[in-house]
Amino acid sequence: MLSNVEYTRLMEILLRQDQYIILLHQNADPDAIGSAIALKELLKSQGKNVMIGTETLNNLSKNLLSSLGEFIVTSPTDHKNLIILDTSTPVQLGSFESMVEKAEVVISIDHHETFDTNKFRGTKYTYFINKERTSTAEIIFDIMLKMRDEGLLNIENTNCDKIIRGILTGIVTDTGHLRFSDVNTLKTLIHIFKRGYHISDVDELLRVEDDISKKIAILKAHQRMKLYSVSDFIVATSNVSSCEALAAKAILSTGADVAFVGADNGSEVRISGRAKKAVIDRGINLAKIMSQVAPIIGGEGGGHKGAAGANGKTNMEEGLKKCIEFFVQDLGGQSNGESLEYTEEAEIQDCWGT
């Protein structure tokens, strides 16, 4: 939870300005969108004029926006007061990154381990990072509780239902339906459940039927898959033209312990990584791996221990190779070179070099 000193400092800064735009990373997920909607409502209760901006949304976030009757802008505006949520580095903002340099006030609130403080230095920057939280939504909930305790939360003037549903959806999705939750996550959920809410309240938002393009991406990812045996884990790499995060998740569901999937559309390269809990329990941190891979593809990366990504401009294949190398190194092994495409006649490559 935010300390009293941190909260006082944050509210002092937030209440100075009358207008804000809340910016989110590209392909904004429900934690980003849910947190933004909740914070927007909290600031509106203080008489602030607030917009939300992000270049793109994933399908779950589109469902959440529609369900809560919210809207966003998808291209930069002339706002000078920015709040950046759930975003560890400005490059992840896409076209909205151009607003950061021109801004007069920039407030960042995030929970990612890879949050880059070097990218948010200067008198106009303020950041509040809690890497102990499993989602940004939990941090926003902490802010709400502090506002309530300080008498700043006017229930009659606040859409609390909208706030709670946004926060609950963010928590559920960013913890993988609580698979990666911890004691603090559960304490937050107890607060929410005591108010009559339940995880089932957001279940409908989390049901998205994949369209044909996504199904094709998943099938192509499996078709192009290369498999590696690293210690007692099966690691997969593949490439698609889009939907790389969805493809990586699908590959895990069909048996791999770790999946790295790249996408190259000619102007941008993206690599998405996903790992099962057993892998994380061995000390693997995909956010760290993606931050190491990012310079190779000419970009930046980050995320969570079990779900992370990197965006760049080039060298997708080299980036995927480095994902394997860094994974092997983090487990203490040695890669033995060239990859082997898995077929019925061939054994999976042993990356320990034995």
Average pLDDT over residues 269-282: 95
Confidence class for position 1, pLDDT limits 50, 70, 90: low
pLDDT in tens, 136-194: 999 999 999 999 988 888 777 789 999 999 999 999 999 988 888 899 999 999 999 99
pLDDT exceeds 80 at position 319: yes
Does the pTM surpass 0.75? The reply is: yes
Q: What pLDDT score does 335 carry?
A: 45
What is the average pLDDT across 293-318? 93
Tell me the domains of the chain and their CATH numbers: 4-206 (3.90.1640.10), 213-350 (3.10.310.40)
For the cut 90, the answer to whether the pLDDT of residue 309 exceeds it is: yes
Provide mean pLDDT across the span 7-21.
91
Distance CA(81)–CA(74), nearest Å, equals 17
Task: Quote the pLDDT of residue 187.
Answer: 94
CA distance linking residue 199 with residue 342, whole number of Å: 40
Nearest to 108 by CA among 168, 39, 169: 39
Position 166 scores a pLDDT of 96
User: What is d(CA 30, CA 176) in angstroms, rounded to the nearest whole number?
Assistant: 12
**pLDDT, tens only, 227-252:** 998 888 999 999 999 889 999 999 99
Question: How much is the pLDDT for 124?
Answer: 83
pLDDT of 64 higher than 90: yes
Residue 344 scores a pLDDT above 70: no
